[in-house]
Amino acid sequence: MTTDLEIARAATLRPIAEIAERAGIPLDALEPYGRFKAKIGTDFIRAQAGRPEGALVLVTGISPTPAGEGKTTTTIGLGDALNALGTRTMIALREPSLGPCFGVKGGATGGGRAQVAPMEEINLHFTGDFHAITSANNLLSAMIDNHVYWGNALDLDIRRIAWKRAIDMNDRALRLGTFGLGGVANGFPREDGFDITVASEVMAIFCLARDLDDLRARLGRIIIGQSRDGRAVTAHEVKADGAMAALLRDALMPNLVQTLEGSPALVHGGPFANIAHGCNSVIATRLGLQLADVVVTEAGFGADLGAEKFLDIKCRSAGLAPSACVIVATVRALKMHGGVAKSALGAEDVAAVRRGLSNLERHVENTRKFGLPVVVALNRFTGDTEAEIAAVQEAMVALGTRAILCTHWGDGAAGAEELARAVQGLIAGGTAQFRPLYPDDMPLADKIGTIAREIYHAAEVSIPPALVTRLKRFEEAGFGRAPVCIAKTQYSFSANPALMGAPSGHVLPVREVRLSAGAGFVVAVCGDVMTMPGLPRVPAAEGIGLDAEGRIDGLF
């Protein structure tokens, strides 16, 4: 079989200036990074303010399974297909993280004929945005410890410094350590750890900031920890926000690349979808809407996490109103939701598909609660049988929507043409009436309850009294209007990853609440959330290297 890397290498890319020009971006607005990547200049972006905006289409998915769904691939395929049909379309994606590239996940640039390119460069350093975010995060850490070292005028309690260091690497050894050892010259020993860069609040801020001024203000609001008398201390108070903004200035310009079929794609930012909101940058999405008739974007994990956060956090904060939502499913993943083991997916099992459809159906119904029309993209795999596909399609018709078979992985734009026509229809229909799930002025605990009830179908939320008090404190401190960002397993509507399908009546246990004051949301941690992955027994890195022509091999 041809690999994604081979397909990507076989493609002839056009100069990025040509892609930009077709997207309405003039040459002098480009900051090229090599020949096939460019950043889009701040002056040009400012000049687009007030332009009428195109339609926003969100691609989300069923609850993920090890069988894979193909959300990024579908986002790219749909964008290519819309462009092929003559609708001026931009694709807006998240940037891949370096860490998982060396682990098991491989790259995050799509697959088959639905890829953004150049894949090796996008998957590795790209234009350096994540390195800039890592540097800004760690400059703040260095300035915190330096503040304590030189007298601690803010009376920071070193046991209560919440700000962690960051690295764009899967490195479990850095999860927890005692730093500052070695004597007086090295400062005060304290516990700290590293999160992977995508889990840093700087990443979430980067992706929610409207512009440089907003970025700087949000960075300043970051709460780094508490003083000995319990006062929240901010990044502004240790005077780190200016230098952090300087480190991020160039990174904040969105990155333009192309799909293998020549569609323009903005690939910018990439926060975790558990403790953060999991979408590409507001700046990129907005610019896309100002330049194109349609922007196709994606959200992390399944619709219960990704779409909910996209809609309740990103769209609310940025004032975006999507026109339609695509939910990606596969027969294989539905079978897993229906109880089939990954090793048994090869055999036809229509009954299992029918059982697993409960998961898809709930995501469709949930998404409608936001006032959005929905269509399902059924991402076809070779082993899918006609009967299995028919079962999905019938169920979706019964729900008043359609499951459209897509083959963009193998066929490119042509494989998503029917999906594109359906999306065109939803946009033209104008039925979208976007509304967030809960109002700004609902108490924080009730916001968690609303999501748990409406989206997860939980019977109740368990919030320990200490956390109820903490939420009240957040409200008293002026953060009561913030949306909530629920960090829980992506594999289930519940907090138990083993409960596939569409569980109901469960209890959502809130184990921790955190205030991401710079990002502007309150995180409710429900279950174990890993903010620093580890490498597997045989990391992908072992197979990565340079071939005889100096090309990068082993990325997938």
Instruction: Tell which positions 185-204 bind a second copy, by CB under 8 A.
Output: 185-187, 190-193
Least distance to a second copy, CB of residue 239, Å: 4
Rounded Cα distance, 66 and 323, in Å: 30
Rounded Cα distance, 305 and 433, in Å: 21
Instruction: Tell which positions 285-314 bind a second copy, by CB under 8 A.
Output: none
Least distance to a second copy, CB of residue 169, Å: 5
Choose which of 239, 342, 421, 481 interacts with a second copy (CB under 8 A).
Answer: 239
- Short-list 183, 259, 217, CA closest to 12: 259
Choose which of 240, 326, 485, 508 interacts with a second copy (CB under 8 A).
Answer: 240
Instruction: Tell which positions 370-429 bind a second copy, by CB under 8 A.
Output: none
* For a second copy, the closer CB: 219 or 311: 219
71 appears as a binding residue in the annotation: yes
Rounded Cα distance, 510 and 452, in Å: 11
By DSSP bridging, strand 89-93 and strand 484-487 are unpaired
SS3 state at 175: coil
| 169 binding a second copy? (CB under 8 A) | yes
Least distance to a second copy, CB of residue 467, Å: 22
Q: Amino acid identity, residue 75?
A: T
Least distance to a second copy, CB of residue 355, Å: 33
Q: Amino acid identity, residue 174?
A: L
Rounded Cα distance, 94 and 108, in Å: 9
Rounded Cα distance, 101 and 123, in Å: 7
* For a second copy, the closer CB: 4 or 192: 192
Choose which of 47, 142, 387, 390 interacts with a second copy (CB under 8 A).
Answer: 142
| 258 binding a second copy? (CB under 8 A) | no
Task: Look up residue 99 and give its two tokens.
Answer: 């860490």
Choose which of 102, 474, 491, 521 interacts with a second copy (CB under 8 A).
Answer: 102
Rounded Cα distance, 240 and 323, in Å: 39
460 appears as a binding residue in the annotation: no
68 appears as a binding residue in the annotation: yes
* For a second copy, the closer CB: 382 or 537: 537
Choose which of 135, 234, 258, 330 interacts with a second copy (CB under 8 A).
Answer: 135
Q: Taking every pair of C-alpha atoms in the chain, what is the biggest distance, in angstroms?
A: 72
Listed ranges 142-150, 260-268, 372-380, 417-425: which one lies at the site for a second copy (CB under 8 A): 142-150
Choose which of 10, 12, 86, 150 interacts with a second copy (CB under 8 A).
Answer: 150
Choose which of 145, 201, 304, 384 interacts with a second copy (CB under 8 A).
Answer: 145
DSSP 250-317: TTTSPEEEEETT--EEEE-----SSSS-----HHHHHHHHHH-SEEEEE-SSSIIIIIHHIIIIIIHH
Rounded Cα distance, 300 and 310, in Å: 9
- What is the contact mask toward a second copy in residues 21 to 60, using x (rule: CB under 8 A)? ----------xxxxx---x--x------------------
Q: Name the DSSP letter for residue 527.
A: S
Least distance to a second copy, CB of residue 179, Å: 4
Catalytic residues: 71, 73, 94, 105, 273, 301, 381, 409
Least distance to a second copy, CB of residue 138, Å: 5
| 172 binding a second copy? (CB under 8 A) | yes
Neighbours of 376 (CB within 10 A): 29
DSSP 476-500: IIIITTS-EEEE--SS-SSS-TT--
Whats the size of the chain, residue-wise?
Answer: 556
Least distance to a second copy, CB of residue 141, Å: 7
549 appears as a binding residue in the annotation: no
Write 393-399 long-range contacts (CB < 8 A, 24+).
Answer: 395/354, 395/357, 395/360, 395/361, 396/360, 396/364, 399/361, 399/364, 399/365
Angstrom distances, CA of residue 121 to CA of 118, 257, 262, 350: 6, 11, 17, 41
Choose which of 154, 333, 471, 535 interacts with a second copy (CB under 8 A).
Answer: 535
Let me know the angle formed at the C-alpha of 238 by 243 and 529, rounded to the nearest 5 degrees: 85
Listed ranges 353-361, 472-480, 500-508, 529-537: which one lies at the site for a second copy (CB under 8 A): 529-537
* For a second copy, the closer CB: 86 or 550: 550
HSE of 537 in the Cβ direction (CA atoms, 13 Å)? 0
| 170 binding a second copy? (CB under 8 A) | yes
Least distance to a second copy, CB of residue 117, Å: 15
Choose which of 67, 85, 162, 212 interacts with a second copy (CB under 8 A).
Answer: 212
Choose which of 2, 18, 26, 146 interacts with a second copy (CB under 8 A).
Answer: 146
Helix 241-248 to helix 129-149 angle (10° resolution) is: 160
Sign of the dihedral through C-alpha 383, 386, 391, 394: positive
Q: Is 296 exposed, middle or buried (0-12, 13-18, 19+ CB in 10 A)?
A: buried
Instruction: Tell which positions 109-128 bind a second copy, by CB under 8 A.
Output: 120-121, 124-125, 128
72 appears as a binding residue in the annotation: yes
Spell out where 294-447 has E strands: 294-298, 324-329, 374-379, 403-406
* For a second copy, the closer CB: 203 or 535: 535
* For a second copy, the closer CB: 26 or 400: 26
Listed ranges 168-176, 354-362, 381-389, 394-402: which one lies at the site for a second copy (CB under 8 A): 168-176
Main-chain dihedrals φ then ψ at residue 382, nearest 5 degrees:
-60, -35
41 appears as a binding residue in the annotation: no
Choose which of 67, 104, 246, 399 interacts with a second copy (CB under 8 A).
Answer: 246
* For a second copy, the closer CB: 87 or 274: 274
Task: Please state the residue numbers annotated as binding site.
Answer: 65-72
Task: Please state the residue numbers annotated as binding site for ATP.
Answer: 65-72
